Amino acid sequence: MRKFEEIVILTGAGISAESGLSTFRDAGGLWEKHRIEDVATPEAFARDPEGVQKFYNLRRRHLDEVAPNAAHRALARLEAESDSRVTIITQNVDDLHERAGSRNVLHMHGELKKARCLECGRASRWEDDIEPTSACPACGAAGRLRPHVVWFGEIPLELDRIDRLLGACDLFVSIGTSGAVYPAAGFVSQVRALGRAHTVELNLEPSAGSHFFHEARYGPAGTIVPLFVEELLTGR
Ligand code: BJW
């Protein structure tokens, strides 16, 4: 294994599956039980704010019942022990990377444990249910909080930083994502177009963009991610 200086890791729902969080598009996933149009668009929130809050309140509560798995812990170990700069770009709204010890994490689709105020625009830490009368910790406005997540048709977060990271990396690793949702699904081709980074897919099965990667390993993240991290750290 060659030595890398700037490692960028894109993660998706598959990395949290073995912790007990549902993915979206697998059999039994969230989009089998809920229609995207009912829970994951700004129009759904405008039409049925209570139904949408309920969907996210339940998922926020569920976070307290799960724990990081071996894949999250391996990525935290990589950041702590490697000489390379390691950045995780996660599409996940859970906090399992942080709870495993990762520090350099960008949440491009937001965070379940934050609420955003429609009045002042600030995102504040939020542990409990968002109620119809909940007040914004920043400006005090009542009944104006929404989940701090990125719905379909909204612009993902941190895109300028992500663009710079993709341009600078010499290793790009994609873990546990189906490659169905843009712009994240296009990151690997963006990196490949620059021609300087090695690209690796770690997933249960080939993703929609699997042919873009130089290398792929398939299996449960809790098994294949620790092995891959061990290779990176030992150079073997
Ligand atoms: C395992 C495993 C194990 C299982 N181990 N692996 C037509 C063409 C192109 C684009 C568009 C289009 N029409 C519309 C668009 C844009 C749209 C889009 O991409 N739609 C597609 C459906 C086509 N995108 C957007 O709207 C985005 N915004 C946007 O484009 O803005 C415009 C803009 C962009 C850039 C610059 C300027 C302007 C916003 C997308 C927001 C996505 N939001 C969600 C919900 C977030 C909140 C929430 O959690 O509820 O984000 S949708 C959902 O999908 C969630 C996820 O982050 C995202 C990706 O899912 P992910 O993580 O890949 O999960 P799965 O379930 O799909 O896959 C899991 C994988 O894990 C599978 O491969 C399994 O095999 C694997 N796995 N167990 C390892 N143990």
What are the pLDDT digits (tens) for 149-170?
999 999 999 999 999 999 999 9
Choosing from 24, 58, 210 the residue with most ligand 1 atoms within 8 A of its CB, the one to mutate for a pocket test is 24
Tell me, what's the pLDDT at 60?
98
- 173 vs 160: CA distance, rounded Å: 19
Nearest residue (CA) to ligand 1, atom 2: 14
Percent of all residues in the chain with a pLDDT value above 90, rounded to a whole number: 98
Q: CA 221 to CA 203: how far, in whole Å?
A: 7
Q: What is the pLDDT of residue 3?
A: 87
How sure is the predictor about 2, in pLDDT bands with cuts at 50, 70 and 90? confident
Q: Which of 109, 148, 211, 214 does the annotation list as catalytic? A: 109
* Residue 115: φ, ψ to 5°: -120, 140
Nearest residue (by CA) to ligand 1, atom 40, is 152
Residue 205 Cα: closest atom of ligand 1: 75
Looking at the DSSP assignment, which residues form a beta bridge with residue 203? 218
Question: Can 148 be counted among the known catalytic residues?
Answer: no
Average pLDDT value over all residues in the chain: 97
Examine the pLDDT at 204 and tell me if it is beyond 80: yes
d(CA 178, CA 96): 19
Residues with CB under 6 A from ligand 1: 12-14, 17-18, 23-26, 29, 40, 91, 93, 109, 149-156, 159, 176-178, 180-183, 203-205, 207, 220-221
Q: Whose CA is nearest to atom 20 of ligand 1?
A: 181
- The answer to whether 176 and 25 have CB atoms below 8 angstroms apart is no
pLDDT at 24: 97
Residue 55 has φ and ψ, to the nearest 5°, of -55, -45
Q: What is the pLDDT of residues 3-21, one digit of tens each?
A: 899 999 999 999 999 999 9
Using the predicted structure, report yes or no on whether residue 25 has a pLDDT greater than 80.
Answer: yes
For residue 181, the CA-to-ligand 1 centroid distance in Å is 3
The pLDDT score that the predictor gives to residue 236 is 80
CA torsion sign for 55, 57, 60, 61 is negative
Over residues 173-201, mean pLDDT: 98
| Nearest partner of 89 among 173, 147, 25, judged by Cα | 173
What pLDDT sits at residue 140?
A: 98
The string of pLDDT tens digits covering residues 104-161 is: 999 999 999 999 999 999 999 999 999 999 999 999 999 999 999 999 999 999 999 9
Residue closest via CA to ligand 1's atom 36 equals: 155
Place of tokens 């914004």: 136
